[in-house]
Chains A and B, each alone.
Chain A
Amino acid sequence: MAESFRRAPGVRDHRGAGTHLLVRAGEYVCALPLGSVRRVVRSLTVHPLPGAADELQGLAEFGGEPLPVLSLARLVNASPGANPSYPVTVVVWVGAADAREMVGLSADAALEVVELSTASIVAGDGGLLLGEAPLNGEVVRVLDLESLGRDH
């Protein structure tokens, strides 16, 4: 995951502009590009996989198909939060457009759909963290789900 934040901070990244779904992962509010989001569902039942990486919680069943579920909090290095009142699993497309995969991201809550302007986004590390943008007095972490497919 350290490689996903390779880009130097303070550099504008115009790829993050557009409509995003805000989700909460621990103490962070993350913005997922709405085009990569397939569905938001109540937290799916996850079956852990032995020997899997830490961020991979396991496999869940979605639409009759096995769905790998990643912990968004782990992905953004958030500290584990308190028991969320209504956890959700966000089914997203990751990876390049020609080789995208559908994974589930477990989050503490799905907040809302927002528009993020390009000017407001400060470039991230070039990995998963595309950049950061202020929103309603709070810093939102804009994630690059394509990079997630490349790293994994």
Chain B
Amino acid sequence: MDADITVPGTSQGERAQLGRLSRPTESALVGWILVVLLTLAGFVLLALGTPAGSPVWPQYAFLAVGLAGIAGYGIAVFPFFRDLERRLPRDLERWEILEKELIEASQQLGAGDLVRSIQHTRGLPERLARISEAASESLSLLAQQIQDSSIEVASAADAVNEIASELASGSSEQAASVVEITAAMEELARTAGQIADSASRQATLASQAETSGETGSAAVHEAVSGVEEVQKRISAIASRADALGTRSKEIYRVLDLITEIAQETHILSLNAAIEAAAAGADGRRFAVVAEEVRHLAQRSQESVESVRNLLDEFAGSIRATIVATEEGSKEASRVLERSRAAAEAIGELRSASGDTSRVARQISLATQQQNAASDEVVMTLREVSLVVQRMTGGLKDLSSTADRLNSLGLTIQLLAQSFHLDSPRSLKHLAEDWSAKLEAAPDMTTLEEILDGLAQTAQFIEMAYIADAKGHLSTLCFNRTVSTGRHLLTMAAARDVDMTRRPWYRAVKREGRSALVPPYESLQNSEPCFTVAAPLRSLGGDFQGVLGIDVNVTGWTRI
């Protein structure tokens, strides 16, 4: 940057020309002589070209006017050239100073140091200085706007990237959800199909049950009729048994009558025996008859007792029959009641089976419709899934684009940061400002305190350090607000590192001004960062070292 800058009007040929211009009077005399000679040559040529016999006064008039003009030119111009010859060395010296300032300003401008460029333009002529300063300020303003815009672009791209990433993540989840919903809908459709089949089978079974119910109802009705007939028969048996009971009572009365007759006969036979005994020998034969009558009465009584016993058994059987028929009648009534209840239940069951069959058919139809609707939903969900997948891809592309935009904004930012502006957002300005503060430190302790204070001033600073003139790291301070405390780079480890090979060190030492290197991966947190560096000089202007500041890219773009 400091060798080959060419300023218009400062080449070697132009310098020789300027040397020749340092003798203006001589040059003016030579020109005057040439004009006289040309005038005389014109007079001669005019005289030679005039035909014989023509008037000669125009020739002499030409000569006179020419000589008069030459004389007037000499009288009027010569003093000016004399004065010019007298002022020209002083103006040349001033011009050289201006040329030097202009070259410095141009060099600073070429190096992007608009601050020093403006400082150098102050020595130029007012108009040129104003124009140069306006141009530098415009360029500075443009660079600041580019810096601000690039930060905004990077921030916006970062935000877009974050949003796009979230949207892509959400879209991926949505796609996964759509896939799950699709699977669930397919399962639902499959289940609906199974339900439709089951409902169809249920309808068939219900129809069969209805038919069976009708058969069962007819059978139960027949059973009811049979039980009613049995009940009638049992009632008839009960009536017959009751009639037998009545007859038995009549028989009992007859037996009682017979018994009474037998008793009377018995008494009568006894009385006959008494009378026979009273009759003495005449009554002996009568006594025999009386005894036979008594025996007859006794046998009658015994027969009556036998009949009574049989009749008791018969009556007992009849009573048991009556009880049995009553119980049978009651049981038949209960059976009849249960049969009627069963018939009613079967009727209800048949009705319910009919309803079930109809409902099952409706369910089958509805589930078939549901199945068709589910298929449509599944197809729609598949389309939605494709759309979501495309959207996810688009969002990923958007995220990638935003990432590239972020990188581009960061690149622009770094390009803009290559300008040294009089702005707090100019890192070079910041670094040189801090470098000036460090240069003013009276001792090493104060310098370390100042450096540590500087390292804590902003969130985007990861660490600040100083490499001395030999390239050895002399001071290293971490930003404690962003540092995790686990430093991969320690002072002990960095002390022996040769910093002269580092780009930022070499650039600062070579250019003699602040420099900025492209982003790289930080040793502290593996995040992208870049280094801005500024030279440290002694009071005499000798190179003492380099101030390096590692700037976190993410933190910087968030300011």
- Could you tell me which A residues sit within 8 Å of B by CB distance? 19, 21, 34-35, 37-42, 86, 88, 110, 112-113
Question: How distant is the Cα of A112 from the Cα of B267 in the complex, in angstroms?
Answer: 9
Interface flag for B159 (CB, 8 Å): no
* Contact, CB under 8 Å: B277 / A41: no
Quick check: B274 and A37 within 8 Å, CB to CB? yes
Residues of A within 8 A of B273 (CB): 21, 34, 113
B517 to chain A, nearest CB (A): 145
**Bound state CA distance, A86 and B256, in angstroms?**
11
State A37–B271 Cα separation when bound (angstroms): 9
A21 to B273, CA, bound (A): 9
Contacting B263 at CB < 8 Å: which of A34, A38, A86? A86
What chain A residues lie within 8 Å of B271 (beta carbons)?
39-40
Residues of chain A within 8 A of B448, CB atoms compared: none
User: B420: CB under 8 A from chain A?
Assistant: no
In the assembled complex, the CB of B292 is this many whole angstroms from the nearest CB of chain A, namely: 12
Residues of B with Cβ closer than 8 Å to A? 263-264, 266-267, 270-271, 273-274, 277-278, 287, 290-291, 294
| Given A42-B267, A110-B270, A113-B277, 16 extra CB contacts under 8 A | A21-B273, A21-B274, A34-B273, A34-B274, A37-B274, A40-B270, A40-B274, A42-B263, A88-B267, A110-B266, A110-B267, A112-B270, A113-B273, A113-B274, A113-B287, A113-B290
Partner of B274, one of A39, A42, A88: A39
Which 9 A-B pairs give the minimum distances between C-beta atoms?
A113-B273, A86-B263, A34-B277, A40-B270, A40-B267, A37-B274, A110-B270, A40-B271, A19-B277
Report the bound CA distance from A112 to B274 in whole Å.
11
A-B residue pairs in contact (CB < 8 Å), sample of 29? A19-B277, A21-B270, A21-B273, A34-B273, A34-B274, A35-B277, A35-B278, A37-B274, A38-B274, A39-B271, A39-B274, A40-B267, A40-B271, A40-B274, A41-B267, A42-B263, A42-B264, A42-B267, A86-B263, A88-B267, A110-B266, A110-B267, A110-B270, A112-B294, A113-B273, A113-B274, A113-B277, A113-B290, A113-B291
Which B residues are in CB contact (< 8 Å) with A40?
Answer: 267, 270-271, 274
Closest A residue to B270 by beta carbon equals A40
Interchain nearest-CB distance for B274 vs A (Å): 5
Report the minimum CB–CB distance from A40 to chain B (whole Å): 5
In the complex the two chains form, what is the Cα distance from A35 to B275 in whole Å?
9
CA distance A40 to B273 in the complex (A): 10
User: Which among B263, B270, B278 has the greatest number of chain A C-beta atoms within 10 A?
Assistant: B270
> What chain A residues lie within 8 Å of B277 (beta carbons)?
19, 34-35, 113
Q: With the chains together, A39 CA to B270 CA distance in Å? A: 8
A60 to chain B, nearest CB (A): 16
* A113 touching B267 in the complex, CB below 8 Å, given contacts A34-B277, A35-B277: no
Q: Smallest distance from the beta carbon of B161 to chain A beta carbons, Å? A: 126
* Chain A residues, CB < 8 A from B267: 40-42, 88, 110
Which residues of chain B are near A113, meaning CB under 8 Å?
A: 270, 273-274, 277, 287, 290-291, 294
Chain A residues whose C-beta falls within 8 Å of the C-beta of B264 in the assembled complex: 42
Residues in B neighbouring A19, C-beta threshold 8 A = 277
Q: Which residue of A lies closest to B274 (CB)?
A: A37
**Complex-state Cα separation, A35 to B283, whole angstroms:** 13
A34 cross-chain contacts in B, Cβ below 8 A: 273-274, 277
Residue of A nearest to B272 (CB): A113
Closest A residue to B295 by beta carbon equals A112
Question: What residues of A have a CB within 8 angstroms of the CB of B290 in the complex?
Answer: 113
**Min CB gap B255→A, angstroms:** 13
**Bound-state Cα–Cα, A110 to B270, Å:** 8
**In the complex, A37→B270 CA distance in Å?**
10
- Distance in angstroms between the alpha carbons of A86 and B261 in the assembled complex: 11
The docked-state distance in angstroms from the alpha carbon of A37 to that of B276 is 12
- Which residues of A are found within 8 Å of B291, using beta-carbon distances? 113
Q: In the complex, how many angstroms separate the beta carbon of B34 from the nearest chain A beta carbon?
A: 203
Q: Which residues of chain B have C-beta atoms less than 8 A from A88's C-beta?
A: 267
